[in-house]
């Protein structure tokens, strides 16, 4: 999509029973995406037929990202193995009758058996040779984390973030322990993409849930969301910042009475933008990392998928009660919002918004005359 004109160009074609996913930028003119478990690249000015396969992993992958000279992804493998080693072991196990003894269950989130393969983070060198992209041999980034080698403990990589220099990775890891059924704990580790440095546990003093790590543009600071009360999964999310060079940590905006759901850094690293629920709306706030002061950037509606765009804009998805989700841009200085897409205008042309208001009135009447509980602020 051209941000200035909102013109949209289609880069892939339909394939029966198949779909393209996980698009990422390799550079300003090249996009990569996954198709049938292979990584393809295509120049923006090229025809779809010119897409090139640049990487064929030995196992299924997801959560693909790229930064400068590295590509990262998550794949379910046997502990301490490469993709090829895990794939070979799977072939050897095929057709066998297997039995597993479970002496550690995880009923708090238990909706599947704890498999021997675990979601594991990998990093691989990304090379551009005269416009021709290639991916080198992948490295198991979690191989240096000895506590995650037990195949019968249900650890997993929930998400991760890699800095713009392709140097450091922040892992969100559900910590393996004997009491996972009663004590939820999610930690954040800082590891190097080439496994050259010893991993650092950033959340060791908490016995609660951490999430949403994001690096500043220069890679000097890492921010994340942190619950602080052990065992309480509805705790407020606090914003923590880690100075990577100094090795120090601090919490900001502790007087703020909202619980952010996601955060991103401003281009200059002086502000954190957060999405937090406020009276039924998901509002964008700006938090000054020095003073902790919070400024409301949007008034109504629900924002999601927040990211920075250039120096002074935010890119996000936005919806209101009577509108579908579309992509918007917010000017940080003026707080003016501009819609880039209107993909459902044809479908909504004959929709009577007054009917939605009428339905709301009916639901309110039902709530008043019965014991039915309706969502807060529905009449607004």
Query: Rounded distance, CA 69 to CA 131, Å?
Result: 14
Query: Rounded distance, CA 6 to CA 315, Å?
Result: 13
pLDDT of residue 360: 66
CA–CA distances in Å: residue 124 to residues 65, 81, 83, 328: 11, 15, 12, 33
Query: Rounded distance, CA 158 to CA 239, Å?
Result: 19
Q: DSSP string covering 231-279, please?
A: T-TTPPPEEEEEETTTTEEEEE-TT----EEEEEE-TTSSEEEEEEEET
List phi, psi (to 5°) of 369.
Answer: -105, 5
Our CA angle for 24, 26, 31, nearest 5°, is 55
* pTM for this predicted structure: 0.84
Which residues, listed in sequence order, are joined to residue 264 by a DSSP beta bridge? 273
Contact present, 101 and 138 (Cβ < 8 Å): no
Question: Which of 318, 326, 321, 320 has its CA nearest to residue 345?
Answer: 326
Sorted by sequence, the CB contacts under 8 Å of residue 323 that are 6+ apart come out as 301, 348
Query: Rounded distance, CA 215 to CA 70, Å?
Result: 16
Contact present, 55 and 127 (Cβ < 8 Å): no
List phi, psi (to 5°) of 287.
Answer: -115, 120
Our CA angle for 74, 79, 83, nearest 5°, is 50
What 3-state DSSP class applies to 98? Answer: coil
List phi, psi (to 5°) of 285.
Answer: -120, 155
Tally Cβ neighbours within 10 Å of residue 315. Answer: 17
Question: Which of 229, 240, 239 has its CA nearest to residue 259?
Answer: 239
Contact present, 272 and 262 (Cβ < 8 Å): no
Q: Is 351 exposed, middle or buried (0-12, 13-18, 19+ CB in 10 A)?
A: exposed
Q: How far from each other are the two terminal CA atoms of the chain, in whole angstroms?
A: 35
Which stretches of the chain drop beneath a pLDDT of 50? none
What single-letter DSSP state applies at residue 109? S
Tally Cβ neighbours within 10 Å of residue 362. Answer: 10
Query: Rounded distance, CA 364 to CA 374, Å?
Result: 8
């Amino acid at each position: 999509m051209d941000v200035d004109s909102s013109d949209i160009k289609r880069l892939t074609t339909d394939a029966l029973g198949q779909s393209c996913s996980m698009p990422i930028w390799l550079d300003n003119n090249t996009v990569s995406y996954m198709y049938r478990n292979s990584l393809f690249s295509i120049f923006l000015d090229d025809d779809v037929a010119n897409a090139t396969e640049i990487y064929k992993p030995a196992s299924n992958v997801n959560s693909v990202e790229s930064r400068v000279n590295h590509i990262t992804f998550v794949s379910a493998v046997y502990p301490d193995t490469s993709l090829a080693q895990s794939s070979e072991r799977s072939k050897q196990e095929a057709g066998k009758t297997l039995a597993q003894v479970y002496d550690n269950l995880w009923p708090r989130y238990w909706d599947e058996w704890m498999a021997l393969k675990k979601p594991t983070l990998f990093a691989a060198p990304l090379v551009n040779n005269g416009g021709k992209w290639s991916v080198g041999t992948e490295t198991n980034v979690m191989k240096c984390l000895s506590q995650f080698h037990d195949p019968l403990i249900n650890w997993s990589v929930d998400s991760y973030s890699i800095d713009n220099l392709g140097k450091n990775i922040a892992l969100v890891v559900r910590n393996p322990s004997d009491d996972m059924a009663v004590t939820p704990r999610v930690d954040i580790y800082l590891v190097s993409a080439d496994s050259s440095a010893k991993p650092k546990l950033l959340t060791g003093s908490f016995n609660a849930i951490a999430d949403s790590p994001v690096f500043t543009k220069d890679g000097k600071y890492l921010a994340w969301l942190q619950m602080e009360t052990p065992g309480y999964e509805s705790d407020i999310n606090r914003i923590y910042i880690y100075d990577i060079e100094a090795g120090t940590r601090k919490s900001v905006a502790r007087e703020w009475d909202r619980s952010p759901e996601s955060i991103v850094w401003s281009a200059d690293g002086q502000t954190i933008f957060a999405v937090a629920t406020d009276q039924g709306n998901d509002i964008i706030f700006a938090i000054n990392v020095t003073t902790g002061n919070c400024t409301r950037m949007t008034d109504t509606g629900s924002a999601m998928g927040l990211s920075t765009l250039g120096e002074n804009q935010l890119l996000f998805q936005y919806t209101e009660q009577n509108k579908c989700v579309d992509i918007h841009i917010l000017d940080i200085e003026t707080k003016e919002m501009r819609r880039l897409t209107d993909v459902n205008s044809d479908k909504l042309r004959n929709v009577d918004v007054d009917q939605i208001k009428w339905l709301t009135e009916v639901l309110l009447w039902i709530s008043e005359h019965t014991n039915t509980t309706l969502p807060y602020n529905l009449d607004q």
